Copies of this chain bind each other. A is one copy, B any other.
Amino acid sequence: MTDETTPERSPFRITLLATGGTIEKSYDAHSGQLTLAVPVIERLLEALDLPDFIVRVERLMAKDSLDMTDADRDEIVDATAAVLAAGNTDAVLITHGTDTLADTAASLTAALPSPDLPVILTGAMRPYRVADSDAAQNVAQALMAARLLAPGVHAVLHGRAVPGDRVVKDYERLTIAPRR
């Protein structure tokens, strides 16, 4: 919960499961398209100041979340369960496309109702490699939230944490919000 009541882990260990999504899209000048051909999340992390974190990146897939299948979602749940079981991390961070982030958050919440660590999904409305991106903000805030949130599945976007079973994408305001 808070610094007052819980001895703080230092450095704080994050396992980041990368799955693709808008956050990782980058421009391919040969095709003139945004693609997921090149990993981006490592560059984003390097641009942050994280003197008291150990972040280990594990790539599960590189998919637009609209293309994710149930099998992909199962893979994410299984990988998360495996990380939790391994017992060598303080929080799990999952980077994910926003279009079906709510579905994966719901699957994770159903499969892992009482994880003993925070499991946090995040992503971006605009790719890290595009002007005025929200990607670095969201990863920075997800890392902060990983340290402060109670165990459980959460989505973190634009400075708001939403419980994993209540996530919806707000297509008008281009953000993640709690279902009312």
> Are A52 and B175 in contact, CB atoms less than 8 angstroms apart?
yes
Copies in the complex: 4
Query: Contact residue range for chain A?
Result: 35 or more
Which residues on B sit within 8 Å (CB–CB) of A150?
1-2, 4
> Are A161 and B137 in contact, CB atoms less than 8 angstroms apart?
no
Q: How far is the CA of A159 from the CA of B49 in the complex (A)?
A: 8
Which residues on B sit within 8 Å (CB–CB) of A170?
51
Which residues on B sit within 8 Å (CB–CB) of A33?
34
> Are B158 and A3 in contact, CB atoms less than 8 angstroms apart?
no
Which residues on B sit within 8 Å (CB–CB) of A1?
1-2, 150
Which residues on B sit within 8 Å (CB–CB) of A52?
158-160, 175, 177
> Are A147 and B163 in contact, CB atoms less than 8 angstroms apart?
no
> Are A27 and B130 in contact, CB atoms less than 8 angstroms apart?
yes
Residues of A within 8 A of B (CB): 1-4, 8, 10, 12, 22, 26-27, 29-30, 32-34, 47-53, 125-132, 134, 136-137, 140-141, 143-145, 147-150, 152, 154, 156, 158-163, 170-171, 173-175, 177-178
